[in-house]
Amino acid sequence: MTTSTDLDFTSVDVIADPYPYFAEARSVAPVQWHETLGMWVTFDHAAASAVLRARTLGRIWSPRWPEVPMPDFELIHRNSLLENEPPTHTRLRRLVAGAFGRGHVERLRPRIDELAAALADEVAEAGADGTPVDLISRYAEPLPVQVIAELLGLPRADWGLLRPWSNAIVKMYEYDVSVEQRAAAEQASADFVGYLRGLVVTRRRDPGPDLISSLIAETDGDGARLTEDELITTCTLLLNAGHEATVNVVGNGVTALLNRPATLRQVRANAELVDSCVEEMIRFDSPLQLFERTATADTTIGEVTVAAGEKIAALLGAANRDPAVFDAPDEFQAGRERNPHLGFGAGIHFCVGAPLARLELHSSLQTLLQRFPALALAQQPRQRSEFVLRGVQSLPVTLH
């Protein structure tokens, strides 16, 4: 007998705090049919992990609105390693990972610290007189954009272009999307694609120490290279995934810490806890809540058979609060030793930028802790209205 759920992912209450709803659903069945979405959804860690790892559950890109022309938005998805399966995915991942392997993460390590310190200076100046400072707009949002800009070798004068493009494009990953948001996403995609094509022309003529130059130069054992569309898509993926995830981990995680003074003091007193605290920030309030797959053949997940052609969504936030895997899952434990969260995915689609994201999050948190020993919430943050990409819209803090 099929177990169904009517959990409304657009509900204000669910968006505000989905975890009690996940726990209630998990107690009924780990995998349930969602009639409104027309797909299966998972509520525990085992089922979500199985979805992410099953080779008969793939990322198969198709336009959500086939009747609406969105050529540039489609371009940056049809060619993405995130939206493809083997053998295309295998080739793309090998080339992208090879380019990353040219030392870009280590190259950026000192620069990330410098960027975080400079933004902390701006925060300190803005809050010097006791005025509340929005940690999202002043710190959490600019840092990942600047890191991606440095990674790609973008001129500083162009850094301000990235955040609006990313913000417009990622709105499309929600389930409630307006006509205006679709138009904005296509325009942002067109602008970004056009900008990157020009940058690729420049890098082919004059290579530098940046990732774009490495992606252009990278070849695999068979002599294959990325096409221009694949290269451009990789750059947009790094911006959209890297920017959104990092902003939301910092926003959600710092909120959790500031609401738990004892835990905050524990991390401040022991710098060795910063890495485990970052992992707990990713687990405790997951920046990405849902990841869809489509069955290419009948696939059993738990006691459910996902028929070929049907979709199933792994609820990552629910998986990361599963009491069968995490001790006291609703507690924020900065020193949690066993933390197999699914925040970076699993299987062949495990986040290729995870090492860079971890480095960036470590620097971001460590800088905040060192620079602002009296950091405190000025008021509870305002939650974003989206479910899939979970985060806070603003995070007002005081520094003294």
Other C-beta atoms lying within 10 Å of the C-beta of residue 198: 9
Q: Is 363 helix (H, G, I), strand (E, B) or coil?
A: helix
What is the model's pLDDT at position 221? 63
What is the model's pLDDT at position 310? 96
What is the model's pLDDT at position 222? 67
CA distances from residue 84 to 52, 71, 77 in whole angstroms, order as listed: 14, 18, 9
- Separation CA 105–CA 191 (nearest Å): 27
Task: State which residues of the chain have pLDDT below 50.
Answer: none
- Separation CA 397–CA 377 (nearest Å): 4
What is the model's pLDDT at position 14? 96
Q: Is 151 helix (H, G, I), strand (E, B) or coil?
A: helix
Contact (Cβ atoms closer than 8 angstroms) between residue 237 and residue 126: no
Going through 302-361 in order, the beta strands assigned E by DSSP cover 304-306, 311-315
Angle of helix 88-100 relative to helix 228-258, nearest 10 degrees, comes to: 70
Amino acid in position 275:
D
What is the model's pLDDT at position 197? 94
Contact (Cβ atoms closer than 8 angstroms) between residue 171 and residue 181: yes
What is the model's pLDDT at position 242? 77
What is the model's pLDDT at position 61? 83
- Separation CA 237–CA 223 (nearest Å): 24
Contact (Cβ atoms closer than 8 angstroms) between residue 64 and residue 179: no
What is the model's pLDDT at position 66? 85
Beta strand 311-315 with 39-42 is parallel
What is the model's pLDDT at position 42? 98
Going through the chain in order, the beta strands assigned E by DSSP cover 4-5, 31-34, 39-42, 57-58, 133-134, 290-295, 299-301, 304-306, 311-315, 376-377, 382-383, 392-394, 396-398
CA triple 36-323-339, angle to 5 deg: 105
- Separation CA 40–CA 293 (nearest Å): 10
- Asked if the bond preceding 87 is cis, omega within 30° of 0, the reply is yes
345: left (phi over 0), alpha (psi -120 to 50) or beta: left
Say what percent of the chain tops pLDDT 70: 99
- Separation CA 389–CA 153 (nearest Å): 27
The CATH number assigned to the domain with range 4-398 reads 1.10.630.10
* Residue ranges covered by each domain of the chain: 4-398
- The mean pLDDT value of the chain amounts to 93
